Amino acid sequence: MLKSRAKYHLGQIVRHRKHPFRGVVFDVDAMFSNTEEWYDAIPEDSRPDKDQPFYHLLAENDQSYYVAYVSEQNLIADYSGVPVGHPDLPDLFGEFEDGQYPLQVQMN
C-alpha cells in the first residue's frame, strides 16, 4: 500500500529546483496522475519517480503565466514573501497574506 504525504500545501508558493519558475499549489496528486505521453516527453535522464506527490501549480516565469504539473522532488518552498501574479489566483484563493494564499473555494 502506497503511503505518501504531501510536503507542500494548497496556497503555498513553491519554486522549481532546476527551471526558472514558481507558482501556487492548487491541487496535489498522491502519485503521478498525468498521461504517459506527458511523462514520456520528459528526457529519460530527468524523469521523476512516479511514486511521489505531484503538484498542480498556477505558475509564472518572466514571460508568461500557465499551469504546471511538477513532482515533489523538483520543488522547493519559496519564502521570498513576493506574491505570485498569476491572473487565475483570485478564482481559487484570497488575498496574499503571511507568505501564502488562503483557499477561498471548496475543492473535491
Which three cell numbers mark 18? Answer: 532546476
4: confidence class by pLDDT, cuts 50, 70, 90: low
Q: Give the pLDDT confidence score for residue 105 in this predicted structure.
A: 65
Chain mean position to CA 60 = 11
Q: Give the pLDDT confidence score for residue 1 in this predicted structure.
A: 44
CA distances from 52 to 7, 81, 93, 106 (A): 10, 27, 25, 24
Chain mean position to CA 101 = 13
Average pLDDT, integer, range 41-65: 96
